[in-house]
Structure formats: structure tokens, C-alpha cells
Amino acid sequence: MRRLEGTLLLTTCRQFCTIPTAMLNTHGSNQAIPFFNRSPTSDNIVLWNKMIAEYVRYDQLRVAQKLFDEMPVKDVVSWNTMLSGLQKAKNPHGVNKCFLQMRRDGFQPNEYTISIVLSAFLGTEFDVLVSQIHAVVVRLALNSTVFVGSALLKGYANVGDRVALVRVFDEISAKDVSSWNALVSSYMELGCTLEAQRVFDGMPERNTVSWTSLVNGYIRNKRVSKARAVFNKMRETNVVSWTVMISGYVKNQKFVDALQLFLLMLKSGTLPNHFTFSCVLDACAGCSSLILGQQVHSSIVKSGMPEDVTLSTSLIDMYAKCGNIDAAFFIFGSMPKKNLVTWNSIIGGYARHGFATRALETFDRMTKCCVRPDEVTFTNVLSACGHGGMVEEGRTLFNSMNAKFGIQPQVEHYACMVDLYGKAGELEEAEKLIQGMPFQPDVVVWGALLGACGLHSSLELGEFAANELDKLKSDHPAIYSTLSRIHGEKGVWNSVLELRHTMKDKGGQKQNAGSWVESPLALRYKN
């Protein structure tokens, strides 16, 4: 299979040498980072810009900012390089501050500047500034360009302004296929599938990106069957279009469909890239097929494709969810660079397999590596505490979410704590926690309490939890089964018979066990 180039190459300029240890990044990577061993002269702006660009490239934003501040003379490229670094670091506050300073210093933004700023603001509190940036664009006479117009289309789609969306498109003087594609994608992001299809049908010219944008739009709007119908009509497909459709199946939990489509992709002669493999590994994890996951891993190795952070993280997740935690840990340990998703995957794997102590030890390592946890991290570690009966550790972690990391606990974190207290028999503490929640408990929270009541035969509290579940229109058979068991242990046989009749009337029954091992797709790989 074709070798895909994706490795980072160190710059070979004579002015570069290895960066001091104190200036290495904090993500666990020991990769040598190039830097200039002598400062450029004041009139050599190009050399200054190259220095800053290299530090931005290797995520050394602090050093890049220091050099940028020391520059005796700047140009638009200098500002754009710094803005791109702040955008890459997902720092919209920094982008806004830098952009304002650029304007104060008398520099006129160009098309690239506007694109960077708009991209940095999407999905953040700064997206309300899209209209103000549009005003700057009009004043600079950049509104008629395709590049800026496409960026503004995405910006207005993000804030849900359909009227402005049409106005921006009309302002583009020479519309090409990319601007039409941007309009289709923007309508899809707004959920206007009919308008998107109408625009697509009326396009003067279409390319593979046009078709892929339409497919991706239907997937985004949960219309995966329609997306597949459009995909089947494509005369020309490439690795991106195949990957988008496979990813769409995975996002909609149609894992077998994703794997079957991957087989069709291979038969078509299209070679997968690391994004494709990552999606396929997620599909293997979703249907718990270790055999297929190992086959995909073997294909990755045979292809000679470098395992980047995203692909390696998908391998960790697949092995952990398919039951081979040792393989997951081996891949995790061999990774030179890890991101937050990588740490979350291995911690979640430990939690799922009941290795609570190892999960908490890994969490401690993660924080010591200066990787800041997020909501998913705490869901994993609290779940690990629940599996290991580590009440005090769980309580400490839960309290540290807001106090130490500024993360507000969500309903899933409360559900983990209710489960933790419930399994430990601290039912009053679990009930107290539920009563103190800043939002209404959901089915998962009350279900965790009911399960704990069944574990410890708490009849009164169990009936209370079941009543709350009934208010939420939840009639899962497990509710009646748990209550029936509690009543039986208490000797209240009349209630047991009533609950069994209710369960029968609602069609509740034990589900047969199932396995993915003998699925048609798995059998195909066995032969």
C-alpha cells in the first residue's frame, strides 16, 4: 500500500540547532525543536517571521510570543503568523487581543487575517463579533473576494443568521465552485437541508468536494440514509468522500454498515488514510469486534503508515473497548506524544476493566504532565472509583472539579457519584447529593439510585426512585425487575405479583445474550 507522508521534518537551515531542555514543550514529547542560535538583524523581517513560524509549528507559543514582542519591525505576515499560532492553540481571547492590537498599530488585515480570526471565533463567545468583522471587511473592500466570502459564510452559519448568509453570498463578485460549496455547507449547518439541496441542484459546476459537502451535511442532520443515497450517486469518489461516509455511519452508531462500506472502499481500489483507519477502528470498538480491530491494526502496520496521535489513540480505544487492555497500555506507553484524548482513552479503558487504582495513577501522571483534564476525564475517573469502591477518592475528585480545575460538574458526573455512594451503601449520601443538584436529575441518575437500592434492599428509597423514573416516562423493564426483587427480599409477595403483572403487560422480558463474534462480517474475515 502507498506510504503516506506525514512525519514532521526538522528544518535544515544552518542557523538552527537543538532547543535547550528548559524550552521543551509540556506534552511529553522529547522531539528536538529547531531555533535560531543568533538573532536576526533589525531589517531582516523575513528571518524573524521564519523563527516565529517554526516555534508556532512546534507548539512553542510562549517562545513565539516573546520573539514577536521583541521584533523591531513587523509586517502583516508577522501578525498573521502570531494569529495563526493563537488560533492553533484554541485561544480566541488571544486572537481577539492580537487582532485589536494589529489594528491599533496601523496594520491593515488581508484575506488571510480575516480567515484566521473568523475561524478562531467559531463556536466561542466571540462569534458575536462576526458582524463587526464583516463591517471591517466591507470597509477594506475585501467582501467581494471568494476567500473572505467563504469564511464569512461559515461565520454567519455558526451564529444562525440566515439573512446575512444570503447577503454575503450575493456580495461575492466572482463566485467559483468553492463559494457554492461553502453555501451548501452553511445551509446544512443551519439545518436547512431543502435549501442546501436546492443550491446544490442549481450549481453551475460541481466537483467531488461539492458532493462530499452534501453527504456530510445530511450526516450532520442525522439523515444518514439520504447521505448514503447521495454518496451512491457520486461518479467520482476519493478517500475523503469514503471517509466522510464511513465516519457518518460511526457517528450514528451504524458500526456494521461502516465496516461493510470500508470493505467496498478497499475493493474499489481507494487506499485509506489515517483518518479512514481511525474511523474504522472506532467502528470495531463500537461493535466490540477484537478480531476485526486486529485485522485493521495489521493493515495499518503493513501499509507503512506512520501512527500519529489520532490513529494511535483510536487503537488504544479499540483495544480497551474490545477487552485487550494490555495491548491498549502497550500502545499508550510507546507513544512519544500524547494529547488529552489519548489520556482519556487509557483512563477510560482502565475504568471499564475495573482497574481503579491504575486509572487514578494515570490521572495523576496526566496532571503532572501539565495536561489539563476535561469533563470526559472526570467521568472516567469517577466511574473508576465506582468500580473500585473508592468513596473518599471519588469524593475528593468530584470536589476538585470546580475548585481546582474550574469545571462545573454535569449530570453524568452526579450519576457517577450516586452510583459510587450507592454501591458503597451510603444511600443517604446519594439521596442528599441528588437533592442538591443544580439541575433536574435524569433517568441515569435515578436509575443509579434505584440500582443501589436493589443492591442493598432499600424498599422505601427504591420506590421513591422508581416513582421519579415514572415521572420521566421511563418504563424500562429493569425498574420493575429491581422493585420486584426488593419486595421479594422484604417478603411483600402481593407487591411482587403486581409488579410482575405490570412488567408482563408492558412487554418486559429478559433479553437474550448476543455476540458480535459470529457476525457475517467477522465470518468473512475468518475465511
> pLDDT, tens digit, for every residue of 246-268?
999 999 999 999 999 999 999 99
pLDDT at 509: 45
pLDDT at 270: 95
pLDDT band at 11, cuts 50/70/90?
very low
**Whether the predicted pLDDT of 6 surpasses 70:** no
**Whether the predicted pLDDT of 53 surpasses 60:** yes
3-class state of residue 18 by DSSP: strand
Of residues 3 and 55, more confidence is placed in: 55
> 16: which strand partners?
36
pLDDT at 470: 64
Terminal Cα distance for the chain, rounded: 22
Give per-residue pLDDT as tens, 187-212: 999 999 999 999 999 999 999 999 99
pLDDT at 40: 52
Task: With 0.85 as the threshold, say if the pTM is over it.
Answer: no
The grid cell for 487 is: 419486595
Q: Give the Å distances, CA to CA, from 423 to 249, 254, 485.
A: 36, 33, 17
pLDDT band at 144, cuts 50/70/90?
confident
pLDDT band at 456, cuts 50/70/90?
low
> 36: which strand partners?
16
Angle between helices 274-286 and 255-268 (to 10 degrees): 140
Question: What is the mean pLDDT of the segment spanning 330-336?
Answer: 93
> 367: which strand partners?
none
> Is the CB of residue 104 less than 8 Å from the CB of residue 120?
no
What whole-number distance in Å separates Cα of residue 353 and Cα of residue 235?
46
Angle between helices 477-490 and 459-471 (to 10 degrees): 160
Question: What is the mean pLDDT of the segment spanning 52-74?
Answer: 90
Which residues touch 320 (CB under 8 Å, ≥6 apart)? 285, 328, 345, 346, 348, 349, 352, 353
Phi, psi of 282 (to 5 degrees): -65, -35
pLDDT at 332: 95
pLDDT at 487: 41
Question: What is the mean pLDDT of the segment spanning 274-281?
Answer: 95
**Whether the predicted pLDDT of 19 surpasses 50:** no
pLDDT band at 448, cuts 50/70/90?
confident
pLDDT at 146: 84
pLDDT band at 522, cuts 50/70/90?
very low
